[in-house]
Amino acid sequence: MDKLLLLKICGIYNLAFAVFHIMFWKIFNWKDDLAKLRAGNRAVMQILNIRLIYVFLLMAFVYLFYSSQLAETPLGFVLLIGFLGFWVGRTIEQFIFLRIKSTMVTVLSVVFLIGVMLHLLPLIVK
């Protein structure tokens, strides 16, 4: 498969996660659920989510608009390793911290594993 196409797919993957995180307030009923937390914890949850949205958008932007630099430069290689590390870490954390037996958690775990593979491929495809 073409390396630049793989990089664009990674960009779309990260963009999709930005959109998913934007919907967290509604999906997880954060208006009601976060109200049960102390003000500091409630703020931290929302701040962390907004920062994650930023990171996903940044990764998507780099993958979509700087794919040739990612594929051809030492800095691009470092960023690819770093982005892969993010998804590997997130996948591992899924199994450590989210030990809930549900279809949604299982589906999300599979989606993370697919993401790891997607982010690994550009590093190994010539």
Q: What is the tens place of the pLDDT at every residue in 59-89?
A: 999 999 999 999 999 999 999 999 999 999 9
CA distance 3 to 121: 8
Residues of the chain scoring pLDDT < 70: none
Do residues 70 and 63 touch, judged by C-beta distance below 8 A? yes
Q: Please tell me the predicted confidence (pLDDT) of residue 68.
A: 97
The angle at the Cα of 16, spanning 15 to 18, to the nearest 5 degrees, equals: 65
Hey, CA dihedral for 41, 23, 82, 74, is it positive or negative? negative
Q: Please tell me the predicted confidence (pLDDT) of residue 1.
A: 78
CA distance 70 to 82: 12
